[in-house]
Amino acid sequence: MVKSVTQPLHHRVADSLRGRISRGQLTVGAALPSEAQLCEEFGASRGTVRQALAALRNEGLIGGGQGKPPVVRHAAVAQPFETFLSFTRWAREMGREPGQRTVEVARRGASQVAADVLGVDEGSPVVEVLRLRLLDGIPTMLERSSFIEPVGRLLFDFDPDGGSIYAHLLDRGIDLRAARHTIDAIGANETDAELLSIAVGAPLLRERRRATDATGARVEYADDRYRPDLVTFTIDNVQAGRVSPHILKETP
């Protein structure tokens, strides 16, 4: 018998408020509903509502307190680390509409950079994907991925415009277990500029990713480039015996 898992009420309250902020229903500077209004809306206690507000305050989304009503400080919505690999899941969980336009899916020889990261010989066959990712129809991120050939060939029977590549690969039994992320800044090249509707040389946030399976075998090398006016990243460190980075992706 499968038991359903109910999300704690304070999480649901926080998620609802995050969605309103992300969609612009609560703009920067706007006051949130009062604790009493939120209690009535969600059938929650004041303690539950205060837990939800504390989470938003810790994320930097709201300010106020000590007798002052909370107000929206920043229209950024965090992405938990467990959803970091999926742009589609991240967008939907924060109440935004994800989209994509596939520019290319091609089997070709691995570049030197991709070969080094994937641990294959330069020129070995890989499957490359170039996709433009959208948030509510707005060009937001340019996704470049190189998959090892046995994994990438599964994409030739999949419409990348139809949804998440990772979800498709997981459904086909590909074990995507872990990833290493490197985040830096880069100037837009001509392809970036054309597809993201920005000027050549405009700054972009770049997230390079190496995805591996449970055995540590390398599956994908990705070079994703985000418009910094639409997406930012936050890294939280928690001391628990060792420092564990927690990466958040946000939309201002």
pLDDT value of position 232: 76
Q: CA quadruple 166, 104, 211, 83: dihedral positive or negative? A: negative
**Do 133 and 155 fall within a single domain?**
yes
- Of 172, 176, 181, give the one whose Cα is nearest residue 219: 176
Q: Which of 64-78, 91-105, 144-158 has the highest mean pLDDT?
A: 144-158
**Do 54 and 117 fall within a single domain?**
no
pTM here is: 0.67
**Residue at 233 is within a domain:** no
Residue 3 has pLDDT above 60, yes or no: no
96 vs 175, residue with greater confidence: 175
Distance CA 202, CA 194 (A): 11
215 vs 89, residue with greater confidence: 215
Residue 76 has pLDDT above 60, yes or no: no
**Residue at 172 is within a domain:** yes
Domain limits for position 139:
81-226
> Residues, the chain, total?
252
Strands 232-239 and 98-109: unpaired
For residue 110, the domain's CATH number is 3.40.1410.10
Residue with tokens 């015996």: 241
The total of other beta-carbon atoms located within 10 Å of residue 49's CB is 24
Residues 35 and 56 sit within 8 Å (Cβ to Cβ): no
For residue 55, the domain's CATH number is 1.10.10.10
**Do 67 and 85 fall within a single domain?**
no
pLDDT value of position 114: 96
Q: pLDDT > 70: what percent of the chain?
A: 83
pLDDT value of position 18: 82
Measured in whole angstroms, the distance separating CA 102 from the mean position of its chain's CA atoms is: 18
**Do 144 and 210 fall within a single domain?**
yes
**Residue at 241 is within a domain:** no
pLDDT, tens digit (0-9, with 9 covering 90-100), for 122-172: 999 999 999 999 988 999 999 999 999 999 999 999 999 988 898 899 899
**Do 94 and 183 fall within a single domain?**
yes
185 confidence band (pLDDT: 50, 70, 90):
very high
**Do 85 and 67 fall within a single domain?**
no
Measured in whole angstroms, the distance separating CA 247 from the mean position of its chain's CA atoms is: 10
Q: For the chain, state the CA radius of gyration.
A: 20
The total number of structural domains that make up the chain: 2
Residue 108 has pLDDT above 90, yes or no: yes
Please compute the mean of the pLDDT values over residues 31-50 and round it to a whole number.
Answer: 93
pLDDT value of position 188: 97
Q: Chain-wide mean pLDDT for the chain?
A: 84
**Do 43 and 145 fall within a single domain?**
no
88 confidence band (pLDDT: 50, 70, 90):
confident
Distance CA 209, CA 198 (A): 24
252 confidence band (pLDDT: 50, 70, 90):
low
**Do 67 and 96 fall within a single domain?**
no
102 confidence band (pLDDT: 50, 70, 90):
very high
E-strand ranges in the chain read 62-65, 68-72, 98-109, 125-135, 138-148, 178-187, 203-212, 218-226, 232-239, 243-250
**Do 67 and 164 fall within a single domain?**
no
Determine whether 63 is exposed, middle or buried from the number of CB atoms within 10 Å of its CB (0-12, 13-18, 19+): middle
C-alpha distances in angstroms, 37 versus 15, 23, 24, 43, 47?
Answer: 16, 20, 19, 10, 14
